[in-house]
């Protein structure tokens, strides 16, 4: 037995989780970059209404919706109305599905190399949902919103042009928010 056994080879489950998380983050970044070069995919942005909905519901709820919608709309081996099952608007996840090529099994096969004709695994659904959430987060970042009751100039709705103490000394409640 080598004297270094157990000392230098101390790979823990946490180290593996960190490596997996980093690998996943890199996959998401590379995939979003690839998708951005498609004129069709790059044209999608969330509507103001969808941004407001995403912010009102929060990241956890929207992520849950993404997983549920993927599972019910494209998760089966032969989804009903495949190629036409994802609406163009009406929910932030729908828009994000088109932007991330997770809208139908044909797009999933072409862009994400997950073959058609078999059910998506839970890991695949989770991975695609993470991609959708990263895209939604990017859209919300590109279109920041202040918390309710404030405008971009820092004034409240009832005092449109008056510089407030909150504007001079910003508090967490007046900072841009994603979700």
Which pLDDT tens digit goes with each residue over 76-92?
999 988 888 898 999 99
Distances (CA, A) of 103 to 38, 88, 136, 166: 15, 9, 15, 43
* pLDDT tens digits for range 26-38: 999 999 999 999 9
Lowest mean pLDDT among 18-22, 55-59, 92-96: 18-22
Domain boundaries, the chain: 24-143
Strand partners for 150: 156
Tokens of 104: 């139908």
- pTM value is 0.74
């Amino acid at each position: 037995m080598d004297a270094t056994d157990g000392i230098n080879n101390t790979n823990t489950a946490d180290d593996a989780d960190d490596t997996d998380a980093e690998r996943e983050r890199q996959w998401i970044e590379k995939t979003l970059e690839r998708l951005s070069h498609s004129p069709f995919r790059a044209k999608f942005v969330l509507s103001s209404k969808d941004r407001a909905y995403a912010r009102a519901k929060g990241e956890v709820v929207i992520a849950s919706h993404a997983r549920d919608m993927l599972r019910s709309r494209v998760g089966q081996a032969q989804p009903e109305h495949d190629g036409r099952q994802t609406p163009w608007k009406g929910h932030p996840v729908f828009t994000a599905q088109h932007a991330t090529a997770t809208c139908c099994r044909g797009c999933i096969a072409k862009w994400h190399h997950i073959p058609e004709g078999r059910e998506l695994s839970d890991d695949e659904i989770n991975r695609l949902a993470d991609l959708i959430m990263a895209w939604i987060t990017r859209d919300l970042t590109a279109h920041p919103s202040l918390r309710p009751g404030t405008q971009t100039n820092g004034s409240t709705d009832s005092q449109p042009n008056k510089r407030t103490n909150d504007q001079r000394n910003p508090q967490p409640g007046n900072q841009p928010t994603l979700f």
